[in-house]
Amino acid sequence: MQRVTISLDDDLAQAFDALVAQRGHANRSEAVRDLIRAELQLRDTAHAPQQPSVGCLSYVYDHHTHDLGERIVALHHQHHDLTVASQHVHLDHDHCLESVLLRGPAQALQAFADALCALRGVHHGQLNLIAVEVDTPGHAHPHGSAHATHHRHHKPVR
């Protein structure tokens, strides 16, 4: 492990300490490591558009917006190969929250998220993207029966 020393002005140090406490980090070092990892993750996915990735897209939309539900479903069908699972929650009489778990190349996940969040009536869209390493060609686990289930593992990068 390497030690890095930084200097912060008083206001920034106080704001950072509040963030450390809010997020429940044990100390500043843990918080700095998390911030660095997050920034490296952004850089990695921006500079490697084909990087295998997983992501969680969450968004709120007004289900009264004309044809929005149909446009969302059509977009999901156009990109069915990226979707692993989705969850739909009714927030009130007008708004729904959806969370969609995605897997695929970083650029494809970002393009899908951008297209969906750009639809009129969609609000608060956010994609959390995580670069992964995929074991190739994958392997099987017996799972307590005579038949093995073949699958791939997706290990987070860093």
Is residue 154 in some structural domain? Answer: no
Least confident of 1-5, 35-39, 42-46: 42-46
Asked, for residue 20, whether it belongs to a domain, the answer is yes
Q: Note down the domain range covering 63.
A: 52-134
Provide the whole-model pTM.
0.70
Model confidence pLDDT, tens digit, residues 79-118: 999 999 999 999 999 999 999 999 999 999 999 999 999 9
| Residue 89 tokens, joined | 């929650």
Q: How far is CA 82 from the centre of its chain?
A: 13
Residues 57 and 42 in one domain: no
Task: Identify whether 139 is part of a domain.
Answer: no
Do 40 and 15 sit in the same domain of this protein? yes
> Are 127 and 59 in a shared domain?
yes
Same domain, 115 and 63: yes
Residues 65 and 94 in one domain: yes
Nearest to 129 by CA among 98, 152, 95, 154: 154
Angle at CA of residue 47, ends 44 and 52, nearest 5°: 60
Considering the domain architecture, whether residues 61 and 91 belong to the same structural domain is answered as yes
Longest dimension (CA), the chain: 64
Same domain as 121, residue 58: yes
| Residue 146's pLDDT band (cuts 50, 70, 90) | low
Closest by CA position to 51, among listed 133, 115, 114: 133
52-82 pLDDT, tens per residue? 899 999 999 999 999 999 999 999 999 999 9
Is 76 inside a domain boundary? yes
Cα(125)–Cα(104) distance, integer angstroms: 19
**How many domains would you assign to the chain?**
2
CATH code (residue 119): 3.30.70.1150
Find the distance separating the first CA and the last CA of the chain, reported in whole Å: 15
Model confidence at 132: pLDDT above 70: yes
